[in-house]
């Protein structure tokens, strides 16, 4: 008995002894301590007195990429989450991709494809002497197979554009001629991935071995997938660039959360942490030897406010003029909101000035259509509201015909940055006499479908706060979000994302024209005009531009986040670890 | 005995059926789901959405889907995961060894801590030792796992560092990536999650054993044994402990299903690739074939282990008759 009591006393002492050790630690010189052992466990040690240029790539080593989500599948035909595509891009390549500047660039195509005069025929010249990781040569037959796979019954891929294809012909192994039944103007976005014809039988697409270990032309291939834990990628022996990739392997580690990831990035247990947000930047910058890389996704995404033009009672009018919103249907109220919001303050105070204020639906990339930033002007806001008949009541809140100008703002619960943004907005709008009430809901409720009576689909809101935008081609986003045909209604079973119930015949016509015009210059002009008109009508207020951000150990060279879906993998064949 | 078992098994099947109905009903009434991921994406045309709905079997009303699910599961097919498209049972089988390792080691560690402490604090009732161990046990029982786990990680896997600048213990996963498998490495990865789980569950076991031991040592047969002049050691270990352990069998038996189900919080916090974590991520993505498969197997195991406990009880204690 005495002995056990003694053991407890000893244990207590040990525990007590631990705490001073913990507090002492930060006092130690961080430069010698913290980054000591990076994730690259196999990284070559610096050799004795190296006389080589420190910028010469070092061969070998392992990079560990941390992600809070596990990919469900690595088949681009079945992917349903962003992480699926982010990881399969280490392995799978397409004919055309988006480069680091958000512009189209050929990958397996010799050059960007060209369309015929009538826009119905698109011709791809394919690169020669390319082999898949299993040794099979890449030819036009693989392009045909990819198309067949995408439109097959078991496919989980979007068929937009592919469903307009009539046939694909192969005059020779290295030419693919795609004939469309009708003009599909965003043809450049097609064939962003190639599935080799050896992948398997299309009637068994769900159970292909390919789904866990794709056969691709990229620098990497899967060697092991330990479910729930990690995926190991090793060099593709048939990769076209001689002597690359420099690294021996890339390991994708599944993490419990982003917060854990930040810790592990600090200790060097991981080299790259995928998918940070703007709010993580200050924490990342405090870590020793850790940097971050960010890019606007595609032509840019915005954190934005969706303003409801229709009644907010869930009646979901197809034409909001029949059942207008009591305040937001008035352009002057929407303009007052825009004038009353100091976007720059939000960016500076909540986001550390690391992002730009939102100005347009098309801020970046090859579709960029820059617009001036909106003016913050409380006086103009007040004047507009006065003009619209909303006068300040006894409690400082404006009212009209006995109705108070009280608006609900909703976003997903649990997102700290968004909750802070809302609080700032409440203060700003109080200045101009608008009572903004925060009413947040879980994301499954906010984003629920029409059939599940989703509040967004049914228009049961005043103002929504979330992020959207940024694909490779603006066609589907502008059509889906701003075209009057995409107002969710009972007739179209709730299809579409035009939650503002915004109707402008000019914008409709511009979007339609651009969708069927093979002349890319004319399309850009049309989208730009539409974006300008949208800024005049204000169905949405763009608060700030969202970035795709990843953190990384600065020892890793040539790491850059790209604007494409494959935001991590740009140049992964050129990654190397500085000893 | 045989009729008793048969009746109990039949009852169990009915219970399972009701459980499956309730679970299916709950899961299919949750908003969101796999389709909302596609509906968000304007690249997906209405035709795509219709095709995908059919592919995932979501275009039928819930009762029809339930009957289809029931028919397939009775033949051992729990459907394919929505996210990975692999059979739900395969997803489970991939993670089962990891969970069994974690929970098996935890159970052993729990018993190794709880049994000696439970006996000692009963024998030394109301002494300093009893008070301290009881306090610690209460603390253990009341600790929120998600908080305690993070605390352990911050202390042992981040703050405390050895001479080489590396943290004392790994804070996540079950192996150091990029290194060949080694037993030492696996044990290092087990230390934190097992300590946390064992600390929390040992508390319950210890309290149980203490009170059961206290009951027993005041029984007449223990006094008789002492009166016979047996040595204290023999009295305690042969006469008292064996009887005091019977209630513990119930506890262990009821804990057995967790060898399958794992520990949701612990596995999630320590990134242990087990069934608890699989269940958690599947639930977040409303991947209901996987969620249903885990829940149904878990429910079946709980029912079975209850039955097992009853049978073992009868074997341990001849006074109990099963009828």
Per-residue pLDDT of chain B (323 residues; tens, 9 = 90+): 778 888 888 988 999 999 999 999 998 887 767 787 787 777 888 888 888 888 888 888 889 999 999 999 999 899 999 888 899 999 999 999 999 999 999 999 999 999 998 888 888 888 898 899 888 888 888 888 888 888 898 899 888 888 877 788 888 888 887 778 889 999 999 999 999 888 888 888 888 889 898 888 888 888 888 888 888 888 888 888 888 888 888 888 888 888 887 788 889 888 899 999 999 989 888 888 999 999 999 999 999 888 888 888 777 777 776 65
Distance of CA B281 to the CA centre of its chain: 17
Q: How far apart are CA A116 and CA A108, in angstroms?
A: 21
3-state secondary structure of B307: helix
Q: In the numeric block, which tokens belong to residue A194?
A: 């190639």
Min distance A519 CA to chain B CA atoms (Å): 21
* Structural contact between residues A552 and A65, judged by C-beta atoms closer than 8 angstroms: no
Q: How far apart are CA A535 and CA A532, in angstroms?
A: 5
Q: How far apart are CA A259 and CA A256, in angstroms?
A: 8
* Structural contact between residues B37 and B287, judged by C-beta atoms closer than 8 angstroms: no
* pLDDT for the residue numbered A31: 36
* pLDDT for the residue numbered A418: 93
Q: How far apart are CA B256 and CA B104, in angstroms?
A: 9
* pLDDT for the residue numbered B3: 83
* Structural contact between residues B265 and B302, judged by C-beta atoms closer than 8 angstroms: no
**Closest CB to A229 among B127, B165, B173:** B173
Sign of the Cα torsion A384, A305, A439, A449 reads positive
Distance of CA B230 to the CA centre of its chain: 41
Question: B262: phi > 0 → left, psi -120 to 50 → alpha, else beta; which?
Answer: left
* Structural contact between residues B125 and B134, judged by C-beta atoms closer than 8 angstroms: no
* pLDDT for the residue numbered A527: 95
Longest dimension (CA), chain A: 95
Residues shown for chain B: 323
- Residue extents of the structural domains in chain A: 61-91+218-297+548-579, 92-214, 301-546
Contacts of A11 (CB under 8 A, 6+ apart): none
Q: How far apart are CA A447 and CA B36, in angstroms?
A: 7
* pLDDT for the residue numbered B192: 93
Alpha helices in A90-237 (DSSP H): 140-150
Sign of the Cα torsion A440, A445, A447, A450 reads negative
DSSP A321: T
Supply angle C-alpha B39, B43, B44, rounded to 5: 50
Inter-chain CB proximity B277 and A452 less than 8 Å: no
A92-214 belongs to which homologous superfamily?
Dipeptide-binding Protein; Domain 1 (3.90.76.10)
Backbone φ and ψ for A226, nearest 5 degrees, come out as -90, 105
Question: Does the structure show a pLDDT above 80 at A381?
Answer: yes
**CATH fold of A301-546:** Dipeptide-binding Protein; domain 3 (3.10.105)
- The neighbouring-strand residues paired with A541 are A305
Q: What percent of chain A has pLDDT over 70?
A: 91
pTM of model > 0.90? no
Q: How far apart are CA B299 and CA B257, in angstroms?
A: 8
DSSP-derived secondary structure for A247-278: SSEEEEEE-S-HHHHHHHHHHTS-SEEEEE-G
Looking at the domain covering A61-91+218-297+548-579, what would its CATH class be? alpha beta
Q: How far apart are CA B285 and CA B104, in angstroms?
A: 29
DSSP A210: G
Q: How far apart are CA B128 and CA B121, in angstroms?
A: 9
Looking up tokens 């829940």 gives: B295
Question: Does the structure show a pLDDT above 80 at A319?
Answer: yes
Q: Which residue of B has its CA nearest to A17?
A: B160
Inter-chain CB proximity A37 and B165 less than 8 Å: yes
**Closest CB to A22 among B127, B155, B281:** B155
Alpha helices in B153-245 (DSSP H): 183-217, 220-227, 232-234, 241-244
Mutant choice from A153, A156, A442, A485 vs B, greatest count of B C-beta within 10 A: A156
What Rg, from alpha-carbon coordinates, does chain A have? 27
Residue A365 buriedness (CB in 10 A; 0-12 / 13-18 / 19+) = buried
User: How large is the average pLDDT for residues A477-502?
Assistant: 91
3-state secondary structure of B159: helix
Q: How far apart are CA B226 and CA A242, in angstroms?
A: 85
Q: How far apart are CA A132 and CA A96, in angstroms?
A: 17
Q: In the numeric block, which tokens belong to residue A240?
A: 């076209």
- The neighbouring-strand residues paired with A250 are A63, A233
* pLDDT for the residue numbered A1: 40
Distance of CA A511 to the CA centre of its chain: 23
Greatest mean pLDDT range, A424-433, A468-477, B34-43, B82-91: A424-433
Contacts of B210 (CB under 8 A, 6+ apart): B118, B121, B122, B134
Mutant choice from A229, A264, A495 vs B, greatest count of B C-beta within 10 A: A229
Inter-chain CB proximity B32 and A267 less than 8 Å: no
**Closest CB to B85 among A153, A211, A256:** A211
Inter-chain CB proximity B172 and A454 less than 8 Å: no
Q: In the numeric block, which tokens belong to residue A29?
A: 């010189």
Residue B130 buriedness (CB in 10 A; 0-12 / 13-18 / 19+) = middle
User: How large is the average pLDDT for residues A60-86?
Assistant: 92
* Structural contact between residues A356 and A347, judged by C-beta atoms closer than 8 angstroms: yes
Integer CA distances (angstroms), A30 to A38, A111, B72, B166, in order: 14, 49, 59, 13
> Per-residue confidence at A18, pLDDT binned at 50, 70, 90?
very low
Backbone φ and ψ for B277, nearest 5 degrees, come out as -70, -40
Give the residue among A279, A425, A298 at the shortest CA–CA distance from A361. Answer: A298
Q: In the numeric block, which tokens belong to residue A411?
A: 């976003």
3-state secondary structure of A117: coil
Question: B271: phi > 0 → left, psi -120 to 50 → alpha, else beta; which?
Answer: left
Inter-chain CB proximity A264 and B268 less than 8 Å: no
Inter-chain CB proximity A256 and B268 less than 8 Å: yes
Contacts of A439 (CB under 8 A, 6+ apart): A408, A409, A410
- How large is the ipTM? 0.81
Q: How far apart are CA B234 and CA B248, in angstroms?
A: 20
Looking up tokens 């990769």 gives: A239
**Element (H or E) spanning B35, and its range?**
helix B34-39
- Does A511 or B221 have the greater pLDDT score? A511
Backbone φ and ψ for A311, nearest 5 degrees, come out as -60, 145
The dihedral formed by the CA atoms of A358, A364, A367 and A371, expressed in degrees to the nearest 10: 40
* Structural contact between residues B293 and B24, judged by C-beta atoms closer than 8 angstroms: no
* Structural contact between residues A336 and A387, judged by C-beta atoms closer than 8 angstroms: no
**Closest CB to A5 among B55, B128, B170:** B128
Inter-chain CB proximity A62 and B31 less than 8 Å: no
Beta-sheet pairing, A398-400 with A175-180: unpaired
**Closest CB to B45 among A159, A255, A497:** A159
Question: Does the structure show a pLDDT above 70 at A545?
Answer: yes
* Structural contact between residues A35 and A268, judged by C-beta atoms closer than 8 angstroms: yes
Q: In the numeric block, which tokens belong to residue A105?
A: 């660039």
Residue B98 with chain A: CB contacts under 8 Å? 228
Q: How far apart are CA A222 and CA A248, in angstroms?
A: 12
């Amino acid at each position: 008995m005495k002995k056990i009591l003694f053991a407890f006393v000893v244990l207590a002492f040990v525990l007590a002894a631990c705490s001073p050790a913990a507090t002492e630690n930060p006092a130690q010189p961080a430069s010698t301590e913290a980054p000591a052992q990076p994730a690259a466990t196999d990284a070559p040690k610096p050799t004795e007195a190296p006389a080589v240029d420190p910028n010469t790539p070092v061969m070998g080593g392992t990079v560990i990429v941390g992600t809070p989500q596990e990919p469900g599948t690595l088949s681009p035909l079945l992917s349903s989450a962003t992480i699926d595509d982010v990881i399969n891009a280490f392995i799978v390549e397409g004919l055309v991709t988006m480069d680091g500047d958000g512009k189209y660039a050929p990958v397996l195509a010799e050059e960007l494809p060209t369309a015929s005069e009538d826009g119905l025929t698109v011709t791809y010249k394919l690169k020669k002497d390319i082999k898949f990781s299993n040794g099979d040569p890449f030819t036009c037959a693989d392009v045909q197979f990819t198309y067949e796979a995408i439109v097959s019954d078991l496919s989980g891929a979007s068929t937009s554009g592919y469903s307009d294809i009539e046939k694909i012909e192969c005059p020779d192994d290295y030419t693919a001629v795609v004939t469309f039944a009708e003009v599909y103007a965003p043809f450049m976005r097609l064939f962003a991935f190639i599935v080799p014809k050896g992948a398997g039988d299309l009637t068994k697409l769900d159970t292909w071995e390919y789904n866990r270990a794709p056969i691709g032309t990229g620098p990497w291939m899967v060697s092991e997938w330990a479910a729930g834990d990690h995926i190991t990628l090793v060099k593709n022996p048939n990769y076209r660039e001689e002597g690359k990739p420099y690294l021996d392997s890339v390991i994708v580690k599944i993490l419990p959360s982003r917060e854990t990831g930040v810790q592990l990035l600090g200790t060097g247990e991981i080299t790259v942490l995928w998918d940070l947000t703007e709010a993580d930047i200050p924490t990342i910058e405090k870590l020793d030897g850790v940097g971050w890389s960010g890019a606007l996704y595609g032509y840019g995404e915005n954190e934005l406010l969706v303003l409801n033009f229709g009644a907010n009672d869930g009646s979901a009018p197809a034409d909001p003029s029949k059942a207008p919103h009591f305040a937001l249907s008035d352009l002057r109220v929407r303009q007052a909101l825009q004038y009353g919001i100091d976007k720059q303050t939000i960016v500076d105070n909540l986001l550390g000035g690391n992002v730009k204020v939102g100005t347009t639906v098309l801020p970046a990339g090859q579709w960029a259509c820059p617009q001036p930033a909106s003016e913050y002007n409380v006086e103009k806001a007040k004047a507009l509201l006065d003009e619209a008949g909303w006068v300040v009541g006894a409690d400082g809140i404006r009212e009209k015909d006995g109705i108070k100008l009280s608006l609900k703002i909703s976003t997903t619960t649990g997102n700290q940055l968004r909750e802070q943004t809302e609080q700032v907005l409440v203060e700003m709008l109080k200045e101009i006499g608008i009572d903004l009430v925060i009413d947040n809901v879980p994301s499954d409720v906010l984003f629920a479908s029409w059939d599940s009576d989703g509040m967004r689909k049914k228009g049961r809101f005043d103002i929504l706060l979330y992020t959207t935008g940024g694909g490779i081609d603006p066609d589907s986003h502008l059509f889906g979000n701003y075209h009057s045909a995409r107002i969710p209604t009972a007739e179209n079973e709730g299809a579409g994302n035009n939650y503002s119930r915004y109707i402008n015949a000019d914008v409709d016509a511009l979007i339609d024209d651009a969708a069927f015009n093979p002349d890319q210059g004319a399309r850009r002009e049309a989208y730009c005009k539409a974006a300008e008109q949208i800024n005049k009508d204000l169905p949405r207020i763009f608060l700030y531009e969202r970035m795709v951000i990843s953190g990384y150990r600065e020892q890793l060279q040539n790491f850059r986040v790209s604007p494409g879906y494959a935001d991590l993998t740009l140049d992964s064949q050129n990654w190397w670890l500085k000893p | 005995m045989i009729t008793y078992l048969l009746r109990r098994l039949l009852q169990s099947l009915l219970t399972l059926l009701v459980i499956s109905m309730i679970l299916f009903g709950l899961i299919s009434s949750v908003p969101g789901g796999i389709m909302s991921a596609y509906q968000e994406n304007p690249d997906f045309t209405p035709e795509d959405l219709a095709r995908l709905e059919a592919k995932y079997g979501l275009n039928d009303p819930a009762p029809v889907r339930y009957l289809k699910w029931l028919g397939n599961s009775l033949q051992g097919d729990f459907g394919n995961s929505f996210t990975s498209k692999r059979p739900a049972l395969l997803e489970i089988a991939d993670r089962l060894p990891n969970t069994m390792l974690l929970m098996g080691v935890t159970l052993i560690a729990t018993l190794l801590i709880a049994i000696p402490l439970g006996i000692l604090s009963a024998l030394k009732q109301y002494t300093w030792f009893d008070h301290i161990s009881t306090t610690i046990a209460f603390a253990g029982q009341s600790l929120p796992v998600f908080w305690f786990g993070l605390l352990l990680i911050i202390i042992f896997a981040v703050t405390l560092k050895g001479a080489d600048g590396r943290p004392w213990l790994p804070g996540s996963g079950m192996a150091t990536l990029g290194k060949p498998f080694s037993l030492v490495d696996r044990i290092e990865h087990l230390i934190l999650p097992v300590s946390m789980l064992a600390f929390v569950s040992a508390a319950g076991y210890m309290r149980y054993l203490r009170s059961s031991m206290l009951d027993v040592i005041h029984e007449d047969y223990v006094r008789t044994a002492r009166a016979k002049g047996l040595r204290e050691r023999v009295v305690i270990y042969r006469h008292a402990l064996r009887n005091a352990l019977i209630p513990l069998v119930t506890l262990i038996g009821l804990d057995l299903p967790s060898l399958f189900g794992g520990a949701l919080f612990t596995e999630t916090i320590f990134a242990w690739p087990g069934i608890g974590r699989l269940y958690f991520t599947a639930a977040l993505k409303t991947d209901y074939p996987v969620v249903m498969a885990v829940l149904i197997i878990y429910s079946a195991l709980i029912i079975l282990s209850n039955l097992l406990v009853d049978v073992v009880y009868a074997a341990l204690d001849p006074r109990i008759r099963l009828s």
